[in-house]
């Protein structure tokens, strides 16, 4: 059994598993007729001049995510959001994109209280994924609180499973042998 859930669900299913503290994340979605000219770039505010950690014109990456014919701008606020979130984000975005955001329409604000496990120092980057032979756990809470951490912990867990099953070796053995042309 490989348990691949968030930390809280994992601890519910396997009592005794550690539940970390979490950081909240808020994502604000705006739409406008007139997309900022930043293409698909992710903007990071190195000056930390407002609540937005990073923002992008998501419709430049995937137009199907936006209302028909309009641009979708999605912006991420890390930690506890300010009480004047909407106004503060709008002002910050105007500075980051170098354009007026007065007419941007707020489509949605999603606040996730337990978005990412906290990683206070000293953080254990390699929490065990093999609890016993036949029982494994993976997820961002076993590694770093990122997509990369979740994938890395899954790789560690599947490697342990293969080893316990006596099938250690390349995890890609089932892939067809590349032909000279495909390689
Ligand atoms: C708003 C937000 C923004 C983020 N931004 C970034 C970012 O920019 N970069 C980055 O690297 N990371 C980011 N993260 C963190 C990243 O999304 C997570 O670290 C990553 O998704 C964790 O993957 P996971 O597989 O451990 O858990 P999850 O992605 O939480 O997947 C666990 C799955 O288990 C399912 N599940 C729960 N209980 C059960 C059950 N009983 N039975 C069956 N299924 C169950 C859940 O429905 C879920 O689909 C962000 C997270 C949030 C919330």
Mean pLDDT by 10 residues, the chain (183 residues): 97 94 98 94 93 97 93 97 96 97 97 96 95 96 97 98 84 53 42
pLDDT at residue number 181: 46
The structural domains of the chain, with segments of one domain joined by +, span 2-21+120-164, 22-116
Q: Whose CA is nearest to atom 26 of ligand 1?
A: 139
The structure tokens 């701008």 sit at 73
The pLDDT value recorded for residue 171 is 59
In sequence order, what are the residues at sequence separation of 6 or more whose Cβ sits closer than 8 angstroms to the Cβ of residue 171? 158, 159, 162
pLDDT at 96: 96
For residue 102, what pLDDT is reported?
Answer: 94
* pLDDT value of position 48: 87
The alpha carbons of the chain give a radius of gyration, in whole angstroms, of 21
Residue in 76, 147, 149, 153 to alter for ligand 1 test, most ligand atoms within 8 A of Cβ: 147
**Whose CA is closest to atom 12 on ligand 1?**
146
Ligand 1 atom closest to residue 12's alpha carbon, by position in its atom list: 41
Nearest CA to ligand 1 atom 22: 140
Query: Which atom of ligand 1 is found nearest the CA of 140?
Result: 26
Residue 118 to residues 2, 92, 124, 134, Cα–Cα distance (Å): 23, 26, 11, 28
Q: Is 110 helix (H, G, I), strand (E, B) or coil?
A: strand
CATH top-level class of 22-116 = alpha beta
**The pLDDT value given to residue 169:** 60
pLDDT of residue 23: 97
Give the Å distances, CA to CA, from 139 to 147, 153, 174: 9, 6, 24
**In this predicted structure, what is the pLDDT of residue 167?**
86
DSSP secondary structure letter of residue 92: H
């Amino acid at each position: 059994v490989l348990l691949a859930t968030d930390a809280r669900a994992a601890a519910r299913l396997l009592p005794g598993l550690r539940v970390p503290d979490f950081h909240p994340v808020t994502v604000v979605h705006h739409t406008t007729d007139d997309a900022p000219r930043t293409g698909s770039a992710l903007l990071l505010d190195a000056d930390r001049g407002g609540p937005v950690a990073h923002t992008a014109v998501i419709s430049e990456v995937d137009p199907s995510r936006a209302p028909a014919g309009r641009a979708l701008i999605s912006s991420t606020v890390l930690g506890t959001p300010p009480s004047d979130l909407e106004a503060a984000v709008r002002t910050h975005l105007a500075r980051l994109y170098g354009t007026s955001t007065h007419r941007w329409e707020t489509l949605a604000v999603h606040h996730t209280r337990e978005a990412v496990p906290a990683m206070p120092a000293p953080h254990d980057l390699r929490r065990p994924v093999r609890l016993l032979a036949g029982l494994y756990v993976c997820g961002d809470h076993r590694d770093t609180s990122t997509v990369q951490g979740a994938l890395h912990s899954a790789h560690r867990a599947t490697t342990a499973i293969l080893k316990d099953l006596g099938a250690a070796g390349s995890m890609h053995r089932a892939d067809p042998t590349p032909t000279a042309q495909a390689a």
